[in-house]
């Protein structure tokens, strides 16, 4: 299964890398609008803690979504990585906060920011299918994170991707955690 997943990941990331700057800008605006709408629908008038990743490489730019959530008074957290296959921890973030370089070039809040447990987690991915399975970069970090969070509380897992990253089916393994929603620049998919 490793070769199948490696080839699928490589192909999906190659397609993502071909997104033009103009398309990326439009996708970021669409993700902002759809992400806000989903958070509002899931919140039912409350203000949950929402985790959004800080984008790297050719990932969908989430900075517009982060700013929009903060503008609406939503508590935002960024993920912090400790080790491969280990759950992420989440620290509070506000626009303007300094970010430190973490593993794999990730931008993370500094250690003095308070830790929080998010109710909604927006996650990056390499590929996805409509059943809600995602393929990340191969470290199993988000699978471990969702499994850990779901043992403690209800959490909504939302994958963010370009539509070109969709696959017919993601090969799954016992540790794989399903997403509840996937948002692309074209649509919001509710995964059942």
Q: For position 6, which CATH number holds?
A: 3.40.50.10420
> What residues have CB less than 8 Å from 22, skipping those under 6 apart?
none
Contact (Cβ atoms closer than 8 angstroms) between residue 125 and residue 176? no
Instruction: Give pLDDT, residue 1.
Output: 55
Annotation-wise, does 141 bind a ligand?
Answer: yes
User: Residue 136, annotated ligand binder?
Assistant: yes
| pTM confidence score | 0.94
91 is in an annotated binding site: no
| 30-43 pLDDT per residue, tens | 999 999 999 999 99
Sign of the CA dihedral 166, 102, 150, 95? negative
Answer yes or no: is 9 a known binding residue: yes
Pick 101 or 135 by higher pLDDT.
135
> Would you say 181 is a known binding-site residue?
no
Question: Is 8 flagged in the annotation as binding?
Answer: yes
Q: What's the residue count for the chain?
A: 192
* b/e code 179-190 from CB counts within 10 Å (16+ = b): bbbbbbbeebbe
Domain count, the chain: 1
pLDDT of res. 189:
98
The pLDDT of residue 94 is 93
DSSP lists the bridge partners of residue 99 as 109
Residue whose token pair is 């299964």: 1
Residue 64 lies in domain: 2-190
């Amino acid at each position: 299964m490793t070769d199948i997943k490696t080839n699928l990941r490589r192909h999906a990331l190659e397609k993502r890398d071909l997104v033009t700057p103009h398309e990326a800008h439009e996708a970021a605006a669409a993700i902002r609008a759809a992400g806000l709408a989903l958070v509002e629908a899931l919140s039912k008038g409350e203000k949950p803690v929402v985790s959004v990743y800080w984008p790297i490489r050719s990932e969908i730019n989430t900075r517009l979504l982060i700013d929009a959530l903060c503008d609406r008074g939503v508590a935002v957290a960024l993920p912090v990585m400790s080790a491969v296959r280990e759950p992420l921890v989440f620290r509070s973030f506000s626009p303007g906060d300094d970010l430190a370089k973490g593993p794999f070039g990730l931008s993370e809040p500094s250690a003095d920011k308070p830790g929080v447990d998010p109710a909604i987690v927006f996650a990056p991915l390499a590929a996805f299918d409509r059943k809600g399975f995602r393929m990340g970069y191969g470290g199993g970090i988000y699978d471990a994170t969702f499994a850990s969070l779901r043992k403690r509380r209800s959490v909504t897992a939302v994958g963010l991707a370009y539509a070109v990253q969709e696959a017919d089916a993601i090969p799954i393994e016992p540790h794989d955690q399903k997403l509840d929603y996937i948002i692309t620049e074209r649509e919001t998919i509710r995964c059942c």
